[in-house]
Amino acid sequence: KAGVTQTPRYLIKTRGQQVTLSCSPISGHRSVSWYQQTPGQGLQFLFEYFSETQRNKGNFPGRFSGRQFSNSRSEMNVSTLELGDSALYLCASSRLDRSSYNSPLHFGNGTRLTVT
């Protein structure tokens, strides 16, 4: 079974630009979560989608948005990029076939975003 696939692996953008990251979950997984990872900050939850609906959102500004398609693939968008947005963005999928948030997460390799 293929794992979680994130594209692209690396991105370099300039302040003020916008960026779109993509995530394809494991086949059969309907939940997709996004996390931001920065050195010393651990993982910060961005948002989680299930059946095309955003179920939860972390404490990030509205510049960060996402969506999920009918095939469970998800995209994350960051508009008006700031230097502080430089980070590794991880996507994770889970089966979530019952009450929420109690399933193991399967992470992708991440997209490393550098904002200059």
Partner 1 sequence: GENVEQHPSTLSVQEGDSAVIKCTYSDSASNYFPWYKQELGKRPQLIIDIRSNVGEKKDQRIAVTLNKTAKHFSLHITETQPEDSAVYFCAAKGQLIWGAGTKLIIKP
Site residues for partner 1 per CB under 8 A:
33, 35, 40-45, 48, 56, 58, 90, 100-102, 104-110
Residue identified by tokens 């979530």 is 96
| Identity of the residue, 2 or 14, whose beta carbon is nearer to partner 1 in the bound complex | 2
| Identity of the residue, 27 or 100, whose beta carbon is nearer to partner 1 in the bound complex | 100
Least CB distance to partner 1 at residue 46 (A): 10
Residue identified by tokens 């980070």 is 87
| Identity of the residue, 66 or 108, whose beta carbon is nearer to partner 1 in the bound complex | 108
In whole angstroms, give the CA distance from residue 82 to residue 77.
13
Residue identified by tokens 């794992």 is 3
Residue 98: Cβ within 10 Å count? 7
Least CB distance to partner 1 at residue 29 (A): 14
- Phi-psi group of 105: left, alpha or beta (phi > 0 → left; psi -120 to 50 → alpha; rest → beta): beta
Least CB distance to partner 1 at residue 41 (A): 7
